[in-house]
Structures are given as C-alpha cells and as structure tokens.
Amino acid sequence: MPEGPSLVILKEAVYSFKGAKILSASGNAKFDKSVLINKKIIDFKTWGKQFFIQTNNHIIRIHFLLFGSYSIDEHIKPDRSLRLHLHFAKGDIYFYTCAIRFIDKNMLDEYDWEADVMSDKWNAKAAKKKLLFQPEMLVCDAMLNQEIFSGVGNIIKNEVLHRIKVHPLSTIGNLPSTKLNRLIKEARAYSFDFLEWKIKFELKNNWRAHTRKICSRCNLPILKEYLGKTNRRTFFCDNCQVKY
C-alpha cells in the first residue's frame, strides 16, 4: 500500500464519494469521530504517501505506514484493526492499521505540492535545486527524502537507481549533471510505471532489482545491503550501477 502511486489509486477509487454526506463515523482512531457526522466530503487529496479527506470543517490526514490498507463497501479485516469507518448512503470506506489524525485547516497550504512526484504540480527544477543544496547526501537517501521526492518509497528507490545505472552509495554532488537530471526524471516516470503496473497486478513482475537475485541486464548477482542514513533494504547490481 504505502508508496505514492498506491495513494493515487485510492483517490480514484473513492472519487464517487466526493460530495457525499458522512452518515456515521466509527473505528478505533483516537479522536472524536462524532464531529464528522452529517458533514459533506469536499475533496480527497494526496501528497506523496499521505491521504487527506476534506470536509467543510475538517481535514483528516491518513498515513498508511508499512501495514495500512483500506477497503470500499466491504469490511474485510478484523475489527481491532479498523481505524476509521465512514458510512455514506451510497456505501462505505474502511481504513485499517494506519495513522489517522485531524490536521489544522490551513495546514494543506504548508505542504510543498511541487515535491509530490505524482502531482501535476511536480517541479523537477525545484527538486534539482534541493538536491544540489545537499551534495554530500547519498543517492539512496536522497530518493527517500519526502521533502524532495514525496511519494517515493523503497521499491521506487531501488528500481530507479537500477534503471539509471547509478550505484546507491553515489553522492549527489558527484553525479554528472546528466545523471542527476535522469534521476529526477525517472523518480516521476518510474512512479507512473509503478501506478500502471499496480493497476494491472503486474508490479512485481516488472521489478528489475527489488527482491531480485540476478540482474536482468548483466545476469550477475543483485546485492542486498542496508545502506545510507535511512538504512533501508537496498538491492543493486555492483556491476552495472556505477558509483560516482
């Protein structure tokens, strides 16, 4: 569930609830759900891995972390994992094992919408500026930085670096300009490939490095190491990914 493209799928999936009135709200999320009753859904938004439900009076922020999930109309998980259930005349939305809270009304203005790789507002030049400001940063950390690449997660990180043949331990400052541009471009492009494949249930089939044993390009072993400040699982080909 967690990476940006999956949230875009969610936003599409609940689109028909836009304008609908919440008839009841329940679940074990630790806030007062009664204030949502009889409120209309104004909009659903995503920023990277965060999902927002807007009513006239409130903004609910949902983060799925590692294990979060949702379902529409059917309650498919145990009650204990049900964080929020929104009931409408036309159906139901269920959110499970995620972090949910209200955020301040004007908080949405605080988000850097140009950082969201899935957004129409995505700004590659702004991303480059932020990257060049931290030349010592490792590329494997840079890709997971939500201020720069909001929505990019560990799978996208591994796949993009393999696709552009850049070693995860390269630093931003050492990357040739063409490679840096390519990294920024593919962070978005791969995310849209991810979206397309996920919709078709073909995502895993298309992984070239993530969880793979053999490099699809050179047939040499893919290495698995925990790298960077983020210390996340990193799959890479030591042969065809160049360290800069």
Give the footprint of DNA on this chain (CB under 7 A).
1-3, 6, 48-49, 63, 65-67, 69, 77-78, 80-81, 96-97, 99, 144, 146, 153-155, 210-211, 229, 232-233
Closest by CA position to 11, among listed 81, 62, 56? 62
Rounded to a whole number of angstroms, the distance between the first and last alpha carbons of the chain is: 32
| Residues constituting the chain | 244
Of 28 and 38, CB closest to DNA = 28
Of 22 and 227, CB closest to DNA = 227
Rg over alpha carbons for the chain, rounded to the nearest Å, is 20
Minimum CB separation of residue 2 from DNA in Å reads 3
Of 22 and 145, CB closest to DNA = 145
Of 49 and 85, CB closest to DNA = 49
The contacts of residue 79 (CB under 8 Å, 6+ apart) are none
Of 41 and 235, CB closest to DNA = 235
CA distances from 123 to 82, 147, 222 (A): 36, 12, 32
Say which DSSP state 153 is in: -
What is the β-pairing status of strands 82-88 and 91-96? antiparallel
Minimum CB separation of residue 21 from DNA in Å reads 29
Minimum CB separation of residue 140 from DNA in Å reads 11
Minimum CB separation of residue 153 from DNA in Å reads 2
Closest by CA position to 3, among listed 200, 141, 182, 194? 194
Minimum CB separation of residue 83 from DNA in Å reads 9
